[in-house]
Amino acid sequence: MAPKPDRSAERRTQILDAAENVFAQMGFNQATMDDIVVESGLSKGALYWYYKSKDALILALLDRIFAGGLAHFEGLVDVDGSASERLDVIIQGTVQEMIRIKHLMPLIYEFVALAARRKSVRETLGGYYRHYHDIISRIIEQGIDSGEFVDIDPDEAALAFLGLGEGLAMLYFVDPQWMELENIGATLKKYIVSGFETSEG
């Protein structure tokens, strides 16, 4: 009689996993709810019990992928250590994450495309980038304050950092020939971070 308390969370995970796979492979529009039903191993009724529309499912997936995905970098902001090293940790972490979710890249660009017409998508994506930018910006600021970095506009610098990272990821997505995903980190360091550093290093 006693319902297992987290059966619900389990089901939701199960469904989002299935949706993630199906959407990544087929795209939001090509994929049908039935595809997700089959992939999840649940019934159609169950699917709709947990997510009341295809749209809700997409949005939930958006959240799972982008919401709060940067909590682990937050801890790098107000700690000791050179700004350079901390940016490095972020770069490495981001690259590792990119590698881990490489198969979800199609999903990411589906979300970007969706952003044009869906405010909620725009806001979630925007929030994510803003959060990312904020972390970078504050670290850069700390680098400037400590004399480690030259006197630049931290926001603009963080934007360049973020922009190059995202741009390279997109180019990789369109054509993996450009580079190894791993090299994105090196390029970021060479073309952006190194420009921050004062000559004495």
Partner DNA sequence: TATGAATGAGTCTTCATTCAT
Partner DNA sequence: CATGAATGAAGACTCATTCAT
Judged by CB, which is closer to DNA: 52, or 72?
A: 52
Question: And the tokens for 200?
Answer: 């004495």
* Per CB under 7 A, 23 contacts DNA: no
Nearest Cα neighbor of 83 from 125, 29, 120, 137 is 137
User: With CB under 7 A as the contact rule, which of the stretches 31-39, 59-67, 96-104, 161-169 interacts with DNA?
Assistant: 31-39
Residue 73 to residues 57, 76, 165, 186, Cα–Cα distance (Å): 27, 5, 16, 19
Considering only residues 7, 100, 117, 119, which one is a binding residue for DNA as defined by CB under 7 A? 7
User: With CB under 7 A as the contact rule, which of the stretches 43-51, 129-137, 141-149, 151-159 interacts with DNA?
Assistant: 43-51
Question: And the tokens for 7?
Answer: 């059966």
* Per CB under 7 A, 38 contacts DNA: no
CA atoms of 137 and 176, how far apart (whole Å): 29
Considering only residues 11, 64, 118, 122, which one is a binding residue for DNA as defined by CB under 7 A? 11
* Per CB under 7 A, 49 contacts DNA: yes
CA atoms of 122 and 113, how far apart (whole Å): 9
Judged by CB, which is closer to DNA: 26, or 152?
A: 26
Q: Least Å distance between CB 153 and a second copy?
A: 10
From the number of C-beta atoms within 10 Å of its C-beta (0-12, 13-18, 19+), residue 147 rates as: exposed
**Interface contacts to DNA, rule CB under 7 A:** 2-3, 7-8, 11, 30-34, 42-46, 48-50, 52-55
